[in-house]
Structure 1
Amino acid sequence: MFLLSQPLTDSIEFEGECYQLDLAFDNVLLVFELLEDDLNIFVQVENALKMLIGEDFDFYENMEKYISLYQAVMENIIVKNSNTNVKRDLAGNPMPEPESKKFYSLTEDAEYIYASFLYDYNIDLFDVQGKLHWDKFNALLISLSEDSKFKQVISIRQRKPDKSMTSEQKRELKEAQEVYALEKNQEELEFEAMDWAGKQEYARRHLAAEGGEVYG
């Protein structure tokens, strides 16, 4: 939870140890980009955790511990604390309601986010890399004005044609939605939103259907 009465979180207590975290917004976004890469899920978790705690360790020496630490950081620090009002997935995006679509991606919409921060707050996100805390970034992101490019793009993606619209307006809306459509389909976006356990179960189901096996 984002509370002005409390300092920003920059560490986590886990199994009696305190781990300092690099929660600069750009580092967290790099983690999300890593999680989108077509890598073995264990490699993803290992590299993501090393980026977050800034330490080198033998992941496979105590894999169960480090997987649990990764989950604790993502679920209790990055995702849970990123927004007090909006539930977020492990890719940092708003958690969709059942049967609803996801309307933005922190990675695909990076240009719109950059332009919107500059427009609304006069903040050049490149100038605050390594400085702006992830929680602050999220508080500013969800508060962007409706005049910002980012919010305008989301509005276009969400808009549905109605009876009051002319044929020309419907055509223009369809064209705009095609221009601003996210590249990834809903299945890909939903997979990215899964936590480690969810991805493992997804992989097991698909490999089982193909006669393969997943370990871990």
Structure 2
Amino acid sequence: MLSLTDTPLSAIKFDDRIYQVNLAFDTVIKYLELAESDEPNQEKKAIRLFFGDQKLPLDPDFFESSFKLINETITKAPYQSNSSMNFGMQIAPQQLYSYRQDADAIYASFLMQYHIDLLKERGKMHWCVFRALFDGLSEDTPIQRIIELRQKNLTDVPDEQRGKVMQLQQYYALKLKKPKTEEDVFNNSSLSSAFASLMNTAKGG
């Protein structure tokens, strides 16, 4: 969630040292895709995505606290009630869009409304800025038209248009498995044990 007074998360302090965190929108999208996948060594790949080649402390507490903060930054939305906020928000909310499958539409929407070329913003635009702009896209943009189409109830469509709308829904249907929640993939206990194992391996050479 974007703040007008606070700088978006870009570094984490641990034991009086500062570690840079890469939260560019394209990095976060790669992380979310990784979290949905069944790839091996997810923890190592996630660490590399966000921290690059920095020398990190061999302390599971560092990784657990860091990823809690990263996940909170990624998933926190401005209009959630305090009681509903958690790390279990689905990666693709209600399965209405996919950053991978809808990449063309998202790119075209940013270019159309904001005159922003997302390809030129890779590695630069912070996730919180990207999400604020994404959420502000108008109903006339390609991605919002696709989302509206996917949500359309065919019973509300006039008979003469129903066939065409059904064809469009089939054409734009998401080709996704049921998304995992971030809580499923990076819940506190499994994250802690996974990183503990990773750190023990690292200590052993």
Q: Does 1:197 align with 2:190?
A: no
- In structure 1, distance between residues paired with 2:167 and 2:117: 30
Compared with structure 1, are the counterparts of its residues 183 and 30 closer, same or farther at alpha carbon in structure 2 (3 Å cutoff)?
A: same
Structure 2 counterpart of 1:136, one-letter code: V
Aligned twin of 2:33: 33
Percent identical pairs in the alignment equals 30
Compared with structure 1, are the counterparts of its residues 151 and 176 closer, same or farther at alpha carbon in structure 2 (3 Å cutoff)?
A: same
Displacement over 6 Å in runs of 4+: none
Aligned twin of 2:95: 102
Structure 2 counterpart of 1:175, one-letter code: Q
Contact 1:14 1:69 in 2 (8 A): no
Structure 2 counterpart of 1:38, one-letter code: D
- In structure 1, distance between residues paired with 2:6 and 2:66: 24
Aligned twin of 1:115: 108
Compared with structure 1, are the counterparts of its residues 198 and 146 closer, same or farther at alpha carbon in structure 2 (3 Å cutoff)?
A: farther
Q: CA RMSD in A?
A: 3.1
Aligned twin of 1:182: 174
Q: Does 1:85 align with 2:79?
A: yes
1:43-192 mapped onto 2 (5 Å cutoff): 43-55=41-53, 62=59, 64-65=60-61, 67-69=63-65, 71-80=67-76, 83-85=77-79, 92-94=91-93, 101-162=94-155, 165-185=157-177, 187=178, 189-190=179-180
CA deviation after TM superposition for structure 1 residue 19, in Å? 2.3
1:87-135 deviation line (CA, Å, top 9, x unaligned): 78567543xxxxxx42112222111110100111111101111221111
Structure 1 counterpart of 2:180, one-letter code: E
Structure 2 counterpart of 1:166, one-letter code: P
The SS at the match of 1:116 is: helix
How high is the TM-score relative to the length of structure 2?
Answer: 0.76
Contact 1:191 1:199 in 2 (8 A): no
Work out which structure has the larger RCO, using CA pairs closer than 8 Å and 6 or more positions apart in sequence.
2
Structure 2 counterpart of 1:132, one-letter code: M
Contact 2:154 2:162 in 1 (8 A): yes
CA deviation after TM superposition for structure 1 residue 168, in Å? 2.9
Contact 1:115 1:149 in 2 (8 A): yes
CA deviation after TM superposition for structure 1 residue 12, in Å? 2.4
CA deviation after TM superposition for structure 1 residue 145, in Å? 0.7
- In structure 1, distance between residues paired with 2:96 and 2:189: 21
Structure 2 counterpart of 1:194, one-letter code: D
Unaligned runs of 5+ in 1: 95-100, 201-214
CA deviation after TM superposition for structure 1 residue 70, in Å? 5.0
The SS at the match of 2:124 is: coil
How high is the TM-score relative to the length of structure 1?
Answer: 0.72
The SS at the match of 2:112 is: helix
1:73-99 deviation line (CA, Å, top 9, x unaligned): 43232222xx323678567543xxxxx
- In structure 1, distance between residues paired with 2:69 and 2:101: 24
